[in-house]
Homo-oligomer: A and B are copies of this chain.
Amino acid sequence: MNELRFTALPGIPMVQPGDDLAGLLTEAADRAGLALRGGVLVVCQKIVSKAEGRLVHLGDVTPSPAAKEIAADHGKDPRLIEVVLGETRRIVRRGHGVLICETHHGFVCANAGVDQSNTPDDEVVILLPVDPDASARGLVETLTAAGHGPLGVIVSDTFGRPWRDGLVDTALGSAGIAPIEDLRGTGDLRGRELVVTTPATVDALAAGAGLLMGKAAAHPAVWAQGVPLVGDGSVTGDLLRDPGTDLFR
């Protein structure tokens, strides 16, 4: 494997609830002259969530006392915090105007992934997909049934990290490719057994694709070629760390 190429799919319109996302992605790939075969399609979470109708109008939200209290502490809209708490299994950290949540999926991220940017109006927020692995699986199946593939699909989002400023895109869900490549038991260049070397392939692909997406999601889907389509699995099944061995819960 000597070359890896990421190509942004051009001209994807603003996605609306109920849109045929596989159709929009196929049309965009056609415009770029790309065959969706033998690669991995990285799709920004926001357009997946929009297509799946994961939008909440803040005018429909009544904040609980807990949401009001947290909102007052952090200088946020209590209705937004109410939505965040609804997506949250556990608050991991609070401070510096940031709420780090563990979502019901098990992701640890700011505001449980609830996002106010690039929404149809200021009063609408976007939630993460209910099951991003299933979203990815659905796209693999629909695209394959339409004569494309074999391919992998990653649903990605932009996360902050402890210890480092700045954001890097990360995989929320995936299908059609092993999320993590297990090299344990294989040798290094001198034949020593590698004990813990397990590259998180789908996270690295999401990170690379994120460089083309642009943070305003001008390019919400990117086609990646050059990584072998080996194995299968899911992000929540294979990539989330067992809480029992996690030192940062």
Contacts and interface: CB of A to CB of B under 8 A. Distances in A.
Interface residues of A, number: 77
Interface stretch (A1-9, A54-62, A132-140): A1-9
A116 B163 CA distance: 25
A126 B247 CA distance: 25
A192 B4 contact: no
Contact of A241 (B1, B7, B165, B201): B165
A188 B117 contact: yes
A93 B229 CA distance: 36
Nearest to A110: B196
A187 interface: yes
A201 B205 CA distance: 14
Q: How many copies does the complex hold?
A: 2
A196 B161 CA distance: 13
Contact of A93 (B180, B198, B241, B247): B247
Q: Which one of A116, A161, A245 has the greatest number of beta carbons of chain B within 10 Å?
A: A161
A216 interface: yes
Interface in A26-44: 32
Contacts of A4: 5-6, 208, 211-212
Contacts of A75: none
A168 B204 contact: yes
A5 to B, nearest CB: 5
Given A93-B248, A183-B215, A204 B3 contact: no
Contact of A200 (B119, B164, B186, B208): B164
B216 A207 contact: no
Contacts of A96: 245, 247
A162 B207 contact: no
A216 B189 contact: yes
Contacts of A21: none
